[in-house]
Chain A
Amino acid sequence: MAQYLMSVLHDSPDLATDEEMAAIDVFNDKLQSEGYWVFAGGLSTPDLATVVDNRAGESIVTDGPYLESKEHVIGFWIVDAPDLDVVLRLAAEGSRACNRRVEVRAFLPA
């Protein structure tokens, strides 16, 4: 079993519709009942983000996202699954449920 991040990609200020929220709930239930669920959540929009840079020892705090981009991650699932084929099927369901594109990335082995 390995862990994967499924990120939901979004490019407008609109939030999820009621239908989308309902479909996401159904999908989340399935992930939990079938044992894939590790964690999931929606994110507040990038304009409400804060960037912290303490690389040089002078902790700099900036209002806004680190990357000025129309497209951003609006939510994500972390799942535990045996292989990519399983995750791609889950991602397909997730993409349909939230009506957005989903990026799949494997976590590096611990």
Chain B
Amino acid sequence: MSDVRPVIARVYREEWARVVATLARRFGDLDVAEEMAAEAFATAVERWPVEGIPPNPGAWVTTTGYRKGIDRLRRETRREGKHVEALMLSQAPEPPGAVDDDRLRLVFICCHPALGMEARVALTLRMVGGLTVPEIARAFLVEDAAMARRITRAKAKIKAAGIPFRVPAREDLPARISGVLAVVYLIFNEGYLASGTQSDPIRSDLTAEAVRLTRLLHLLLPEDGEVAGLLALMLLGEARRTARVSARGELVTLAEQDRGTWDRVLLAEGHALVRARLASGEAPGRYQVLAAISAVHTDTLDARDTDWSQVAALYDQLVRLDPSPVVRLNRAIALAELDGPEVALAELDDLPLDGYHAFHATRADLLRRLGRSQESRAAYDRAIDLAANSAETAYLTRRRDQLGR
């Protein structure tokens, strides 16, 4: 059958995480889970064209992977099959956790705080996202072998350190969810404004994967405000994707984007999530406030109609939650619209952001608006030096070159 391959590709996309998660729980081993899942899909590629697509493809793959895993264990331990199965079944029943879903358990394991951030990102993309090692390597600009080693080391750490195959204890949940969101947000940001002067400025495969993962989290943790907030933030960002880079590969700022090209469906979904969080009456966390800011920006068809006082008020709220210099920088940008560039420039004075390109880009723009061209040029130069994204560099170069003498 020639039409089986697209079906298998779809099944892979939809079922990989669930298959891996189920096998990981049953075998208590990520290596075995990943390899047996991969082998099971390979078997599907061989058998389904001949035998037809099974009525429940996900279950077929899981069962096949499980049988292969048992066979392998049997060979490795040289014990009777029954003893090995008894071993599997003798795992103590898990105490009732906050949420009982294998995929959620897998996400929490891959994002465990004992793993370094790079390891968490790589492992999550491989085990939950189902991206291949070469795909992940390309996304983060490392060699395939180096990425493979990173993932292998992460799995070895999980085994050696005894990271449990369990949803975190109730008291650990908030911090652990926060950790998961940080991983997923990092994946999104890497796709949203990808690093590397030679690569694509926007990696839509990464942003799409981040959105997919966050949708899964939202499905599994529907009550969590920050998960909903992050999903809203990502959707409102994705909605603007095609407008953000010009045909010539230059970044297009929010003020200059063709708002007619924004994806209405994603905008509606994002706005609905923001409204729902507002209606919940719960105190919003960081991602919810960021999403609300994004919602205000994307609420108008004309940039000139932006409700800057609402944006500034939201940034005031954000600063209270997260007084980091970058947040204060973004707040200053909003202040410039309300109180003028002089006030905003003063806000930037004490910020320890000398190594951050956006800091210098912001100063450059404010200085330009104040007619201080020489200082503006110097700031653009610094920003260009520090910028790590090709579309941004192009944009900053043009702005600098447009300055009068």
Binding site for B on A (CB under 8 A): 2, 4, 82-85, 87-89, 104-106, 108
Q: Is the Cβ of B172 less than 8 Å from the Cβ of A85?
A: yes
Chain A min CB distance to B383 (Å): 37
16 pairs, CB–CB < 8 Å, chain A vs chain B: A4-B162, A83-B162, A83-B164, A83-B166, A84-B161, A84-B163, A85-B164, A85-B166, A85-B172, A88-B113, A88-B114, A89-B172, A104-B161, A105-B161, A106-B161, A106-B162
Q: Is the Cβ of B168 less than 8 Å from the Cβ of A85?
A: yes
Chain A min CB distance to B88 (Å): 18
Given B113, B160, B164, B168, which contacts A106 in the complex, CB threshold below 8 Å?
B160
Note all chain B residues with C-beta closer than 8 A to A106. 160-162
Q: Is the Cβ of B164 less than 8 Å from the Cβ of A82?
A: yes
CB 8 Å contact bits of B136-177 with A (1 = contact, 0 = none): 000000000000000000000000111110101100100000
Other A-B contacts than A84-B112, A88-B114, A105-B161, 5 sampled, CB-CB below 8 A, are A4-B162, A82-B164, A84-B162, A85-B169, A88-B113
- Nearest to A83 among chain B residues (CB) is B164
A104 to B113, alpha carbons, bound, how many Å? 13
A82 to B169, alpha carbons, bound, how many Å? 13
- Top 8 nearest A-B pairs (CB, nearest first) are A83-B164, A84-B162, A83-B162, A84-B161, A84-B163, A2-B162, A106-B161, A106-B162
Note all chain A residues with C-beta closer than 8 A to B161. 84, 104-106
A104 to B168, alpha carbons, bound, how many Å? 19
Interface residues on B, range: 10 to 19
A67 to B166, alpha carbons, bound, how many Å? 39
Note all chain B residues with C-beta closer than 8 A to A85. 163-164, 166, 168-169, 172
Chain A min CB distance to B264 (Å): 44
Chain A min CB distance to B105 (Å): 13
CB 8 Å contact bits of B20-47 with A (1 = contact, 0 = none): 0000000000000000000000000000
Chain A min CB distance to B223 (Å): 22
A12 to B251, alpha carbons, bound, how many Å? 51
Chain A min CB distance to B24 (Å): 15
Interface residues of B in 296-334 (CB under 8 A from A): none
A84 to B162, alpha carbons, bound, how many Å? 5
A82 to B172, alpha carbons, bound, how many Å? 16
Note all chain A residues with C-beta closer than 8 A to B168. 85
A34 to B163, alpha carbons, bound, how many Å? 21
Q: Which of B112, B162, B163, B172 has most A Cβ within 10 Å?
A: B162
A85 to B166, alpha carbons, bound, how many Å? 10
A85 to B114, alpha carbons, bound, how many Å? 9
Note all chain B residues with C-beta closer than 8 A to A89. 172
A106 to B114, alpha carbons, bound, how many Å? 12
- Nearest to B169 among chain A residues (CB) is A85
Given A2, A82, A84, which contacts B114 in the complex, CB threshold below 8 Å?
A84
A88 to B162, alpha carbons, bound, how many Å? 11
A28 to B183, alpha carbons, bound, how many Å? 35
Chain B min CB distance to A1 (Å): 10
A66 to B292, alpha carbons, bound, how many Å? 57
- Nearest to B163 among chain A residues (CB) is A84
Q: Which of A4, A85, A87, A89 has most B Cβ within 10 Å?
A: A85
A106 to B163, alpha carbons, bound, how many Å? 10
- Nearest to A81 among chain B residues (CB) is B162
Chain B min CB distance to A29 (Å): 21
Chain B min CB distance to A48 (Å): 32
A82 to B114, alpha carbons, bound, how many Å? 16
- Nearest to A88 among chain B residues (CB) is B114
Note all chain A residues with C-beta closer than 8 A to B113. 88
A16 to B373, alpha carbons, bound, how many Å? 58
Chain B min CB distance to A82 (Å): 7
Note all chain B residues with C-beta closer than 8 A to A108. 160
- Nearest to A89 among chain B residues (CB) is B172
A104 to B112, alpha carbons, bound, how many Å? 15
Interface residues of B in 356-386 (CB under 8 A from A): none
A87 to B246, alpha carbons, bound, how many Å? 52
Note all chain A residues with C-beta closer than 8 A to B162. 2, 4, 83-84, 87, 106
Chain A min CB distance to B112 (Å): 8
Chain A min CB distance to B178 (Å): 15
Chain B min CB distance to A4 (Å): 8
Q: Which of A4, A84, A89, A104 has most B Cβ within 10 Å?
A: A84
Note all chain A residues with C-beta closer than 8 A to B163. 83-85
A108 to B163, alpha carbons, bound, how many Å? 14
Note all chain B residues with C-beta closer than 8 A to A4. 162
A85 to B179, alpha carbons, bound, how many Å? 14
